[in-house]
Structure 1
């Protein structure tokens, strides 16, 4: 049954992401144009992340910050929406999660899923080999654009506290669970919850991931 659910999951991912890209293409064009006209630098932001089985891939997002933002100020983390590294259009994209839309392409090519644990950067907060056997279970499925953690605690708890929720998703995964998470994600997007409300790695300081 799990194999069947995984097959259906990939089918939903492929069709959903392709149809999604076609439907929202006018919105994507407007965002691309807005970024290009309001700030210098590339339209897209690419960053290495840990994917399924610890494989490294490059996640794709719309650029919401100035070029080389990770080398300025607080580095990898954004502690407030007033961070001066965030561009004007970037504030809107981050608040509405529209900066995440390019990840639909990551889903199309099979690096990500619509639903799954969010992928961390390879060296922070831990390298793949530094996770315990239990914690590595979160990497047994493809990372997602949204997930069980995002619709429950989101960023309100530490990374270590989020891992058991990711593992719970992997262990209890069904297509029906994915559908429920997708609907809850839409509700949260419309509620526009703040993304600057979590404790970053092990309880030291509040911030949001860079870009």
Structure 2
């Protein structure tokens, strides 16, 4: 990581903390604002740090199976707000799903791609979630959004 980028991130963090203090004095909402700022700064740093891995995984997923690289899952977040959770696709598109409905005749192991097996084992399929955290859809630490049918 380049030293200038690190210093820029620290300067941005300091500016955000000053803005937090002003907002707290004006509106009394420091804890939620502080957590939001932490999530944003941490997600930004994490995105910069894992960008090469994201590109490598995306290329591996695309090279080993047909279909999109990312899987977008509808979720419901705070206050019932809908958003799309981003993860790497780790299963074959053409196996087990018809019109978005999973057919139970297929074993789970048959659906998982070779790259998908590795990225699931090490949790790398969840790395694109930092984009959701950067957008404010989810928190860096906390529960995932719920599937709409579970709400």
Q: Normalised by the size of structure 1, how large is the TM-score?
A: 0.53
Partner of 2:40: 14
Deviations 1:142-195 (A, max 9, x none): xxxxxxxxxxxxxxxxxxxxxxxxxxxxxxxxxxxxxxxxxxxxxxxxxxxxxx
Q: Secondary structure at the residue paired with 1:113?
A: coil
Asked if the contact 2:138/2:144 (under 8 Å) is kept, the reply is no
Partner of 2:122: 96
> Is 2:61 the partner of 1:43?
no
Structure 1 distance, partners of 2:147, 2:102, is 18
Structure 1 residue runs of 4 or more that deviate by more than 2 Å after TM superposition? 68-75
| CA drift at 1:67 | 1.2
| CA drift at 1:109 | 0.8
Partner of 2:18: none
Structure 2 distance, partners of 1:57, 1:9, is 20
Computing the radius of gyration over CA atoms, which structure comes out larger, 1 or 2?
2
Of 96, 104, 118 in structure 2, the residue corresponding to residue 74 of structure 1 is 104
Q: Normalised by the size of structure 2, how large is the TM-score?
A: 0.72
Structure 1 distance, partners of 2:44, 2:60, is 23
Partner of 1:105: 131
Structure 2 distance, partners of 1:36, 1:9, is 35
Structure 1 distance, partners of 2:104, 2:121, is 20
| CA drift at 1:74 | 3.0
Partner of 2:143: 117
Asked if the contact 2:138/2:145 (under 8 Å) is kept, the reply is no
Greater percentage in helix: 2
Of 31, 37, 45 in structure 2, the residue corresponding to residue 5 of structure 1 is 31
| CA drift at 1:3 | 3.2
| CA drift at 1:23 | 0.9
Structure 2 distance, partners of 1:36, 1:23, is 22
Query: What is the RMSD of the two structures over their aligned residues, measured on CA atoms?
Result: 2.3
| CA drift at 1:73 | 3.6
Q: How does 1:36-185 map to 2 (within 5 A)?
A: 36-67=62-93, 69-70=96-97, 71-74=101-104, 83-123=109-149, 126=150, 128=151
